[in-house]
A and B are shown apart, each in its own frame.
Chain A
Amino acid sequence: MIHRAGSGHPGGALSLVEILAELYARRMRFDPEHPDWPDRDRLILSKGHGVPALYAALAWYGYFPKEELLTLRRTDGRLEGHPDRCRVPGIEASTGSLGQGLSIGIGHALSGRLDQRTYRTFVILGDGEIQEGQVWEAALFASAHRLDNLTAFIDCNGFQLDDAVEKILSIEPVAEKWESFGWAVREIDGHSLGEIEEAIRWADGVRGKPSVIVARTVKGKGVSFMEGNNDFHGRAPTDEEFEHAMKELGAHPEREAFL
């Protein structure tokens, strides 16, 4: 997708693949035929630039045809480089401007509680993203209002746009920070499906406070030369790199085999 588009963010898309896979395959209730079904679980990708991974999940479950994935960032399509709530079915929030998704998620969670609906709201944030002040305004609010139908994931892949998070503006110890803000915290390996599944089950059981799952991940996971290489934060692979990557992933580039 990103190769074909010629631009995009492979690193931050690959780090959240397992989280999305686990949520869509095993946990979330949703109906692609009725994207606005009131009781669906909500998923907000606050780190909007990771959207290619989300598009893949949405296409897999039939929100739109898989072929459409190849129109990412391409003229006359609707798959923008960042999630668009207005035109793409299955997208819950228009993000791309970082730091805003958790607040939107709180709105959904608050509403769900008032309306006595049983859906859960999941929000995925980046580790660089949580440097935004608004995230912490939202964090205060969610625990003060005991929103236990809200679960955040932090995709801790160690990098942001320009460099390592630790070098630019450390967010550590991240688990303690959220704990002190009144959240229930779990720290996991964000590429282990088992740990993700277990953590989601744990979050479902938390009462009286919001929960956050700190997922330790690898930026660019799955492609050897992208792993931990922040050069791939915001650029598409070249033809050569693409072929190499597809080989590693066991796919055939010439057949767009993932379709």
Chain B
Amino acid sequence: MRDIFLEEVYRIMKREDIFFLSDDFGSPVLDQLRRDFPERFVNVGIAEQNLINLAAGLALEGWTVYAYGIAAFLSMRAYEQVRVNLAMLSQWRDINVNLVAVGAGVSYDVSGPSHHCLEDLGLMRMLPNMTVFSPSDGILCEEIADYTAKASGPKYIRLDGKALPNLYKGIGAEELKCGFSEIRRGEKLCIVATGYMTHRALAACESLKSEIIDVGVIDVFLLKPFDEGKLFETLERYDGIVTLEEGFVNKGGLDGLISSLLEKNGSRKSLAALGFKDAYTFDVGNREYLHRLNQLDEESILRTIKSMLD
């Protein structure tokens, strides 16, 4: 994911008003970028707060800025700086700063809770003027990278720490702005997921096929702003909805987005929110294991779906 996004940024770097900042985070593509654009690439060191304000200063001077780092630290270590110097400032001034955050959810599984990132969707969505992307594959990453170079404003791009297989064949600019895609049509029930969990949702639906239960999957890749009318229209076709995310639930993440959309439209569909409960996970294990502990494995998802269909 990160490499696809960075490769696209590398191509965009040919445009001379683009500046790339790294929070001492590497990647092979980054080495290439540093080599070919040495004046417009800076590793600022391990200093997130400095990084964000530096980006703001550059953006005020007209640069399009990419700020790259580990998701947990990029989103939370300098949240105040993001709030004041990106979110607030951008209400009045035209700045283009893109936070490229790698390590969504528990993609850094065995690194432990300090490296898990389960709060960022809610935190970033809460900030006025912020755009929040959470792509589920490389095709989206490319499109998003192109979009970020053109569109003004502060943006948070939540990327998985691991490579994910492609789900899309291509995606148009309008579709991207719409914010979601119904990648699998179902009947009574649909799962609304984001990022890595969209893959999990699809797998769960596949295994239900043999039982002739047709569950839909909606992939939300842009959590803010998105086409609310269209998303509600799509949800309207279902009786029940399950939200599925690698983040805390009841904290304004994807589940909050869906429940407030339904509420706003006076809908009273049955709704289940799957995600991490109100506790950190200290147990060590790979992603699958951490999911199992938090009832996010396929079996648990199927259980939820079946209980809703009963």
Contacts and interface: CB of A to CB of B under 8 A. Distances in A.
Is B one of A's binding partners?
Answer: yes
Nearest to B49: A133
B234 interface: no
Interface in B108-128: 110-115
B46 A81 contact: no
Contact of B115 (A77, A82, A169): A82
B208 interface: no
B284 A161 contact: no
Interface in B90-146: 110-115
A71 B284 CA distance: 9
Contacts of B26: 161-163
A84 B112 CA distance: 8
Interface of A, secondary structure class, is loop
Nearest to A76: B285
A75 B285 contact: yes
Interface stretch (A94-102, A187-195, A200-208): A94-102
A33 B110 CA distance: 28
A79 interface: yes
B50 A81 contact: no
B80 to A, nearest CB: 12
B284 A79 contact: yes
B45 A73 contact: no
Contacts of A87: 282
Contacts of B25: 161-162
B178 interface: no
B114 A131 contact: no
Nearest to B114: A96
Contacts of B46: 98-99, 128-129, 131-132, 160-161
B286 interface: yes
Given A76-B285, A78-B282, A133-B50, A168 B114 contact: no
A257 interface: no
A73 B282 contact: no
Sorted nearest first, the 8 A-B pairs with minimum C-beta distance are: A96-B114, A80-B112, A169-B45, A75-B285, A131-B45, A73-B110, A81-B111, A162-B26
23 contacts: A73-B110, A73-B111, A74-B284, A74-B285, A76-B289, A78-B282, A78-B283, A78-B284, A80-B112, A80-B113, A80-B284, A81-B110, A81-B112, A82-B111, A82-B112, A97-B72, A97-B114, A131-B47, A161-B24, A162-B26, A168-B45, A169-B43, A169-B44
